[in-house]
Amino acid sequence: MTNSPEYGFICFAYTNNKWYDWCIAKFSKSSWSHSFFTCPPMLGEEMVMEADSSGVSVCSFDQHYRQNSTQTYKVFRFKNVDQATIDAAIKNRIPELEVTYGYLEYPWFIWRYLNRMVGRDIKAQDNWCQNGNEVCSQFLREYISDCGYASLFDGYGKGSMAPEDIYQVVLAHPELFELVESKP
């Protein structure tokens, strides 16, 4: 992505040495604690749109991810989605800016984790704590769906996907997504 005018990439991240990220990864059986997408540059700076602990916001990719020594990430791009579709999908997410983060959705993910431990997969159920707020994985799911790939999430309930779920969907479809950058 460096020095690239392109945007609309799908990103997965993990912040090392943060208890909160460790908890998210642990209870979602994930290597990732966060997911987001890149949006159009601002004054030459690559930007991302994400739902994080402060709510839905836009921030610098370089400052928050590339230059942050605690961040591990992977970035994928769509292989077959035109820029107009990506622009429309990003525009659809703009009304969610400053929406509060969905902390109350976490009990459902813990419930899903406990169910997995006894061999039950409840991913098809809706998250019963949906309250109009946003978690990163639902925010990214909506973006990818708006890019024309809603069917990739058949079998998952509303608000039931963790970053790892989306990551596994992306990996399962190399004909649709291409890894373009990673930071170990």
* pTM (whole model) above 0.85: yes
Per-residue pLDDT of the chain (184 residues; tens, 9 = 90+): 444 558 999 999 988 776 556 566 665 667 888 999 999 999 999 999 999 888 999 999 999 999 999 999 999 999 999 999 999 999 999 999 988 888 888 888 889 888 988 999 999 999 988 777 888 999 999 999 999 999 999 999 999 999 999 999 999 999 999 999 999 8
**What count of other Cβ atoms lies within 10 Å of the Cβ of residue 57?**
16
The owner of tokens 């370089």 is 62
The fold for domain 10-183 equals: endopeptidase fold (from Nostoc punctiforme) (3.90.1720)
What is the pLDDT, as a whole number, of residue 2? 47
Tokens found for residue 13: 């991240």
Instruction: Tell me the C-alpha distance between 42 and 59, whole Å.
Output: 10
Tokens found for residue 15: 């912040």
Domain ranges of the chain: 10-183
Give the DSSP H/E element, type plus range, for residue 24. helix 19-27
DSSP 17: T
φ, ψ dihedrals at 64, nearest 5°: -90, -20
What is the pLDDT, as a whole number, of residue 51? 93
